[in-house]
Amino acid sequence: MADKDLDKKPAEQLYANEPDLKTQVIADMLRIEQVTTEIKEFKVEVKDHFAKVENWLVGIMAGVFATMSSLIIALIFKLF
């Protein structure tokens, strides 16, 4: 007899009025918001970190280029 009553009600009415479901949905929404915030913060931190790494790489490459240029110029002057 209980199955017949459940079959008559649409699925939306069966679950929409349960207070536990509403609480669970709100908790899930809060978790989603928290994860989204953490991802945004992580994105900013990674961007800053890569900017520092990029600056270091540019500095190292500039030093290597300057050293190689001076060595090549010194070798050219030594040969002539």
Three-state DSSP class for residue 18: coil
Predicted TM-score (pTM) above 0.85: no
pLDDT of residue 20: 78
Closest residue by Cα to residue 30 from 18, 19, 38, 40 = 38
Report d(CA 23, CA 13) in Å as an integer: 16
What is the C-alpha R_g of the chain?
A: 33
Predicted confidence band at 79 (pLDDT cuts at 50, 70, 90)? confident
| DSSP characters over 13-49 | HHHHT-HHHHHHHHHHHHHHHHHHHHHHHHHHHHHHH
pLDDT in tens, 44-60: 999 999 999 999 999 99
